[in-house]
Amino acid sequence: MNPIIDLRSDTLTQPTAAMRSAMAQAPVGDDVWGEDPTVAQLQERSADLLGKPAALFVPSGTMANQIALLTHCDRADEVFVGEGNHSLYYESGAGPAWAGVTFTVVGRHGLFTAEQLVDTIRPHDQHFPRPRLVTIENTHNRSGGRVFPQSDVAAIAEAAHSRGLSLHLDGARVWNASVATGTPPATLCGPVDSVSACFSKGLGAPVGSVLAGDRDFVARAHRYRKMLGGGMRQAGILAGACLYALDHHVARLADDHDNARRLARALSVVDGLRCEPTLVETNIVVFEVTTHSAADFVGLAAKRGVKLAALDQTRVRAVTHLDVSAADVGEAAQRLSKI
């Protein structure tokens, strides 16, 4: 039995022994000079999987999203995002600071429709920022790992493109969306102009994301990566972990989804907690605490060896991942039920 069951995030995964071996054996070169063969292989593989002509390896998902803002937008442009979108909520205000953009929230709970987007776009007028970019997040973290409906993605893309706006997909967990729906990542990314995808969450790599789009977009993004300090040297050691993850850790995301549903079912019958198992689509469980504040509940859970994250005053998040087994999930539910 694990003394500590860490459900705070899927970023807490540890590289497996086999992944460490792949990292050690990866051929390397200076990637800033364009000479790291493993990085080149990862970029080509990622572009193919995501259905885009080119891709760029970057240290983090936050950098990928910020580069996308810089590449798509000019200063003072307007970017439309769903409620709780990562670029708005979790990136330290970087969008206004670095790209100089203005964020406008569309819809509720992270997802929105083309109709809601159109209703939010203001007329072209000197008093308003220029509408330039729409960003969607799939899966959506703060809504509980929900999959953005593909029909809505296609309709949003059509509405955006017809009005001269580009569409960016924050696909940090697009691999989870693909496994949950049985839809290839390239199909999920088909309607969008650019996509970021992460390797250091459910796929278990220690670090790394990619930003993909057409070749001109990626060439311009490459320059912004350099400006932001994201150029790495013998980065093939890291890219080797990402390639291993693509080969071995994508299909097994279904286990994380099963464990999340298992956890949600167990928590749904605990007095003082409100959890709806039918809303769990991937590896994130969000539940409400009625007997304590979320922060107090998280503190009490930690004392029982279960690490969680408070989303706000009443909601708590639990995330299943590579290092959490079905037995761990059952044990975590037992411990939480005793609070």
> What is the pLDDT averaged over residues 201-207?
97
Dump pLDDT digits (tens) for 52-72. Answer: 999 999 999 999 999 999 999
Closest CA to 213 of 232, 190, 236, 230: 190
Dump pLDDT digits (tens) for 38-56. Answer: 999 999 999 999 999 999 9
pTM as predicted: 0.96
Dump pLDDT digits (tens) for 5-32. Answer: 999 999 999 999 999 999 999 999 999 9
Dump pLDDT digits (tens) for 234-259. Answer: 999 999 999 999 999 999 999 999 99
> What is the pLDDT averaged over residues 308-317?
97
Q: How many CB atoms lie within 10 A of CB 42?
A: 26
> What is the pLDDT averaged over residues 135-154?
97
The verdict on 104 and 214 lying in the same domain is: yes
Q: Tell me how many domains the chain contains.
A: 2
Max distance between CA atoms of the chain, in angstroms, equals 63
Look at residues 248, 268, 288 and tell me which one is the last residue of a structural domain.
Answer: 248
The verdict on 219 and 128 lying in the same domain is: yes
> What is the pLDDT averaged over residues 111-124?
96
Q: Going by C-beta distance under 8 Å and a sequence separation of 6 or more, which residues neighbour residue 326?
A: 255, 258, 259, 262
The verdict on 209 and 169 lying in the same domain is: yes
In this predicted model, which residue has the larger pLDDT, 1 or 28? 28
Does residue 1 register a pLDDT over 70? no
The verdict on 115 and 199 lying in the same domain is: yes
Give the confidence band of 116 by pLDDT, cuts at 50, 70, 90. Answer: very high
The verdict on 124 and 181 lying in the same domain is: yes
The verdict on 229 and 164 lying in the same domain is: yes
Query: Is 256 within a domain?
Result: yes
The verdict on 199 and 271 lying in the same domain is: no
Question: What integer pLDDT is reported at residue 2 of this predicted model?
Answer: 73
Q: What is the CATH number of the domain that holds 282?
A: 3.90.1150.10
Q: Cα angle at 65 between 59 and 67, to 5 degrees?
A: 80
Report yes or no: 5 and 305 within 8 Å, Cβ to Cβ: yes
Dump pLDDT digits (tens) for 282-300. Answer: 999 999 999 999 999 999 9
Please provide the average confidence, as pLDDT, over all residues in the chain. Answer: 97
3-state secondary structure the chain: CCCCEECCCHHHCCCCHHHHHHHHHCCCCCHHHCCCHHHHHHHHHHHHHHCCCEEEEECCHHHHHHHHHHHHCCCCCEEEEECCCHHHHCCCCHHHHHHCCEEEEECECCECCHHHHHHHCCCCCCCCCCEEEEEEECCECCCCCECCCHHHHHHHHHHHHHCCCEEEEEECCHHHHHHHHCCCHHHHHCCCCEEEEECCCCCCCCCCEEEEECHHHHHHHHHHHHHCCCCCCCCHHHHHHHHHHHHHCCCCHHHHHHHHHHHHHHHCCCCCEECCHHHCCCCEEEEEECCCCHHHHHHHHHHCCEECEECCCCEEEEECCCCCCHHHHHHHHHHHHCC
Q: Which domain holds residue 302?
A: 252-337
Give the confidence band of 277 by pLDDT, cuts at 50, 70, 90. Answer: very high
